[in-house]
């Protein structure tokens, strides 16, 4: 028997070894070639593609068209699977790879018919833009053709990569619309249903203006609170306690100062776009070097920054004269229209492809847009992403702009989800404006409109006149997803889900603490995790627990030692943060329960609830107090206990408060999509775990898998001093030297240079057949 077991074990281990060697060999064969010479019929002159220690793609050629091919080739080598997911996400085509489990998401995406829209827009683009997209696609596809073996993701799913086509690049931009504006229609529908269920008074209570405001002109929206609406006994009785998800789509910062506040006299820009984080990271470091020809004038262009794999533009970067960065603008770009029996509803059928079958999916359409039924009422959605002006390649024009004034003019033409663009130039100027697609309609609404109020013609036009600020008297500019424009302009352009302005206020106030700035001081502000916003919650919780000092002695001591920051070793911060979240979830459970019954949630408006929850704490309305509690203090202390119990269950095996350090509770985990489904792959595919640093209401935004997707600091003309930190590597291949390159600097909050370092690899692509 022993001999049989021994033979079995040896055989099994041998098979495992052979299988492991086979997998390792296959993975190595799927690595792209990084050095050598190639031929391509898709370029007019030879180009080079070089890579430094981080894998930064340094592409040099004689024309923008040729380096576009080179960028497509680099993206195709390093990131094709991620590009494939982005186009499939927007088009609703993930089921073809992942099967039936992706069907709900695909149906959600098919509602917007983005594949059809992208193909239509490509057909109508100017010939130069159309050719640029085709050239980029040629580069991507030539990189695929060079592969000896498909990347591991296709081997694992048993699928084959499909060639890239020009419409796919527009689908990548549509994927950003879904990420950056996808909650705006949901927000408006939630507010519509709150009004339907509880009336205008409740709607006004939920979305009342916060005192956290930081507009560039200092204007304020009114913050006077009305009466708290009564909550019906039936709503209170039926309430079920559930976590109201805290949306992670809020969190980007940028700011700028003019040359008046720098030693060099050049403007300086900081930009950190906050997104959901996964491996590989969304951005791709690149430098493009080419000749720009205008008539008889030939100028060398060098543009350095990060690109979005799937599209041929440098999204955030510098050309030595001008630098630019973005935050999501959150102005209102969507309206629902309540349909009547007189409104005609048509249907279209789309085919969703599965690995071994197809299904037909029916979409209802109105003259306002696709139709959604909620609580037995039909609504048509008009969203700027559905308009022909929503996507284009105009962003690329920034590469050859030489001043803030020129950049502000160009920004009105961009076909991207509307952003706060911040620009600085080497002459010391700074400016801000909303950049992207904005409908010309003048009556944005938080709730569904009647058809007779819908400005259908204005929706067909992109707004050409947008607010802007150029060289402000204060010499400082800032944005952080909250309202930036004046209160008057805000009425005109509406609210599409603004962030609470606490983060913007903290940035603004920090900028006014100094009269001279450097790259180091800007990075310090990006990493500012002082808990200014939670200070009032901290004080309130200590006062509340002090009413029972013996019972909560340990809690009170930890709260007093909280360090006033979202610091890794702070337990007190965790207690305050958890208490606030739990209390909001508990108090608003009656509304959340009702919305859940029609498949909606307060999640998309949770950021608005800060003034409402404080009004309830202060006034303690009887109709909002659950009947099992005799007083509001009892109820609120119970919420605190529930918060602590939940945190301990999740983060402490021993049930000790000391285990609730914020760095552990808010640990940064950047995972690969495959490891989320197969945890055994985590050690091979994920970035190392890092103790949490920062939170949602401060400049240093960081949650478990959400945070700064890049950190960029630049004075145009001083690129050698510039910073570009990215939380992950260039390559999507886990065996590549570039899979985790750059992550260590990011995790240690160590500056990473923007400019490429010593070149380690070089591909020469020669023009020819």
328-385 confidence digits (pLDDT tens): 999 999 999 999 999 999 999 999 999 999 999 999 999 999 999 999 999 999 999 9
Confidence of residue 17 (pLDDT cuts 50, 70, 90): very low
pLDDT higher than 90, residue 685: yes
The residue-averaged pLDDT of 202-212 equals 96
* Token pair in block for residue 614: 């404080």
* Token pair in block for residue 309: 């794999």
The residue-averaged pLDDT of 711-736 equals 97
pLDDT single digits (tens) 237-292: 999 999 999 887 677 999 999 999 999 999 999 999 999 999 999 999 999 999 99
Within 8 A by CB and 6+ apart from 176, the residues are 308, 416, 417
pLDDT higher than 90, residue 312: yes
Confidence of residue 6 (pLDDT cuts 50, 70, 90): very low
pLDDT recorded at residue 9 = 38
pLDDT recorded at residue 1 = 41
pLDDT recorded at residue 148 = 84
pLDDT recorded at residue 28 = 65
Query: How would you classify residue 92: left for phi > 0, otherwise alpha for psi between -120 and 50, otherwise beta?
Result: left
Catalytic residues: 252
| DSSP conformational letter for 400 | G
pTM of the model: 0.94
Enumerate the known binding-site residues: 332, 335
pLDDT higher than 70, residue 637: yes
Strand duo 702-703 + 334-338: pairing: unpaired
Confidence of residue 296 (pLDDT cuts 50, 70, 90): confident
Enumerate the known binding-site residues for Ca(2+): 332, 335
* Token pair in block for residue 693: 């640093």
pLDDT recorded at residue 635 = 97
pLDDT single digits (tens) 77-96: 999 999 999 999 999 999 99
Rg (CA), the chain: 27
* Token pair in block for residue 493: 């352009």
Task: State how far the Cα of 734 lies from the Cα of 390, in Å rounded to an integer.
Answer: 35
Distance, CA of 456 to chain centre? 30
pLDDT recorded at residue 12 = 41
Task: State how far the Cα of 103 lies from the Cα of 360, in Å rounded to an integer.
Answer: 11
pLDDT recorded at residue 27 = 64
Q: Which contacts (CB < 8 Å, 24+ apart) does range 610-614 have?
A: 610/210, 610/212, 610/500, 611/208, 611/209, 611/210, 611/211, 611/223, 611/225, 612/205, 612/206, 612/208, 613/583, 613/584, 613/587, 613/588
* Token pair in block for residue 338: 């309540």
Task: State how far the Cα of 317 lies from the Cα of 756, in Å rounded to an integer.
Answer: 13
pLDDT higher than 60, residue 729: yes
* Token pair in block for residue 34: 């990084």
pLDDT single digits (tens) 91-143: 999 999 999 999 999 999 999 999 999 999 999 999 999 999 999 999 999 99
Helix %, strand %, coil % for the chain, to 5? 40, 20, 40
Confidence of residue 26 (pLDDT cuts 50, 70, 90): low
Within 8 A by CB and 6+ apart from 618, the residues are none
CA dihedral sign, ordered 189, 703, 565, 527: negative
pLDDT recorded at residue 251 = 77
Report the chain's mean pLDDT, rounded to a whole number: 94
Confidence of residue 11 (pLDDT cuts 50, 70, 90): very low
pLDDT higher than 90, residue 298: no
Within 8 A by CB and 6+ apart from 78, the residues are 32, 55, 57, 284, 309, 730, 731, 732, 733, 736, 738
* Token pair in block for residue 590: 């009656």
Confidence of residue 766 (pLDDT cuts 50, 70, 90): very high
Alpha helix (H) residue ranges in 512-599: 519-526, 535-545, 553-560, 571-587, 589-596
Distance, CA of 348 to chain centre? 31
Nearest to 270 by CA among 475, 479, 418, 467: 479
Which 3 state secondary structure label does DSSP give 487?
helix
Instruction: Give yes or no for a contact between 148 and 301, defined as CB atoms under 8 angstroms apart.
Output: no
Half-sphere exposure of residue 434: CA atoms within 13 angstroms, side-chain side: 28
pLDDT higher than 90, residue 169: yes
CA distances from 494 to 94, 203, 416, 454 (A): 34, 16, 18, 15
Nearest to 608 by CA among 500, 695, 501: 500
Angle formed at CA 372 by CA 497 and CA 455, multiple of 5 degrees? 65
Nearest to 134 by CA among 182, 169, 99, 186: 169
């Amino acid at each position: 028997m022993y001999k049989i077991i021994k033979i079995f074990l040896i055989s099994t281990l041998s098979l495992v070894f052979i299988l492991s060697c086979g997998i390792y060999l296959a993975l190595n064969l799927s690595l792209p070639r990084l050095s050598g010479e190639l031929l391509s019929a898709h370029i007019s002159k030879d180009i080079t593609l070089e890579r430094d220690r981080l894998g930064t793609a340094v592409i040099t050629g004689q024309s923008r068209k040729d380096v576009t091919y080179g960028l497509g080739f680099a993206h195709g080598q390093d990131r094709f699977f991620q590009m494939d997911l982005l186009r499939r996400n927007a088009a609703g085509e993930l089921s073809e790879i992942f099967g039936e489990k992706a069907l709900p998401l695909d149906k959600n995406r098919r509602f917007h018919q983005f594949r059809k829209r992208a193909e239509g827009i490509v057909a109508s683009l100017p010939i130069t833009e159309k050719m640029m997209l085709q050239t980029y696609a040629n580069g991507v596809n030539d990189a695929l053709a060079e592969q000896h073996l498909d990347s591991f993701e296709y081997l694992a799913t048993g699928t084959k990569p499909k060639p890239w086509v020009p419409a796919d690049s527009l689908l990548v931009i549509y994927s950003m619309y879904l990420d950056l504006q996808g909650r705006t229609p949901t927000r408006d529908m939630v507010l519509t249903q709150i009004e339907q269920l509880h009336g205008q008074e409740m709607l006004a209570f939920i979305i009342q203006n916060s005192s956290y405001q930081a507009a560039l002109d200092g204007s304020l929206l009114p913050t006077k609170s009305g009466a708290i609406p009564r909550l019906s006994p039936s709503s209170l009785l039926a309430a079920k306690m559930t976590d109201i998800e805290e949306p992670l789509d809020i969190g980007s910062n940028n700011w700028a100062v003019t040359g008046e506040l720098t030693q060099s006299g050049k403007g300086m820009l900081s930009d950190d776009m906050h997104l959901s984080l996964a491996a590989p990271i969304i951005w791709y470091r690149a430098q493009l070097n080419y000749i720009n020809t205008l008539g008889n004038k030939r100028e060398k262009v060098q543009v350095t920054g990060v690109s979005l794999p799937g599209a041929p533009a440098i999204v955030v970067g510098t050309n030595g004269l001008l630098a630019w960065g973005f935050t999501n603008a959150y102005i209102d770009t969507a309206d629902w229209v309540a349909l009547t029996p007189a409104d005609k509803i048509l249907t279209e059928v789309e085919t969703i492809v599965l690995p071994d079958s197809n299904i037909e999916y029916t979409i209802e359409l109105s003259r306002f847009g696709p139709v959604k039924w909620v609580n037995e009422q039909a609504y048509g959605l008009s969203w700027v992403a559905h308009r022909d002006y929503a996507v284009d390649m105009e962003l690329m024009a920034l590469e050859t702009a030489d001043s803030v004034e020129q950049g502000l003019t160009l920004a009105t033409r961009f076909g991207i989800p509307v952003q706060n663009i911040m620009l600085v130039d080497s002459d010391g100027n700074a400016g801000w404006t909303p950049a992207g697609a904005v409908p010309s309609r003048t009556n944005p609404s938080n709730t569904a409109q009647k058809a007779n109020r819908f400005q259908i013609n204005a929706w067909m036009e992109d707004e050409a006149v947008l607010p802007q600020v150029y060289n402000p008297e204060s010499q400082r500019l800032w944005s952080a997803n909250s309202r930036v424009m004046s209160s008057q302009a805000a009425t005109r352009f509406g609210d599409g889900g603004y962030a609470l302005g606490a983060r913007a206020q903290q940035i603004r106030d920090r900028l006014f603490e100094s009269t001279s700035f450097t790259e180091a001081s800007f990075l310090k502000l990006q990493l500012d995790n002082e808990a200014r916003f939670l200070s009032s919650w901290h004080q309130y919780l200590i006062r509340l627990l002090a009413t029972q000092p013996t019972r909560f002695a340990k809690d009170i001591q930890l709260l007093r030692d909280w360090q006033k920051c979202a610091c890794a070793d702070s337990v007190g911060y965790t207690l305050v943060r958890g208490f606030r979240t739990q209390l909001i979830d508990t108090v608003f459970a009656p509304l959340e329960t009702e919305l859940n019954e029609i498949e909606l949630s307060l999640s998309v408006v949770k950021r608005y609830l800060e003034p409402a929850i404080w009004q309830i704490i202060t006034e303690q309305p009887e109709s909002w107090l659950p009947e099992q509690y005799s007083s509001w203090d009892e109820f609120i202390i119970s919420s605190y206990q529930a918060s602590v119990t939940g945190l301990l269950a999740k983060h402490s095996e021993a049930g000790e408060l000391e285990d609730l350090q914020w760095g552990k509770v808010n640990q940064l985990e950047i995972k690969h999509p495959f490891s989320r489904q197969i945890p055994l792959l985590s050690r091979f595919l994920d970035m190392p775990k890092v103790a949490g640093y920062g939170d949602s209401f401060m400049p240093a935004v960081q949650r478990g898998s959400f945070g700064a997707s890049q950190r960029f600091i630049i004075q145009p003309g001083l690129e050698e001093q510039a910073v570009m930190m990215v939380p992950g590597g260039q390559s999507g291949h886990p065996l590549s030297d570039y899979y985790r390159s750059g992550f260590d600097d990011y995790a240690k909050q160590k500056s990473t240079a923007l400019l490429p370092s010593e070149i380690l690899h070089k591909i020469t692509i020669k023009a020819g057949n």
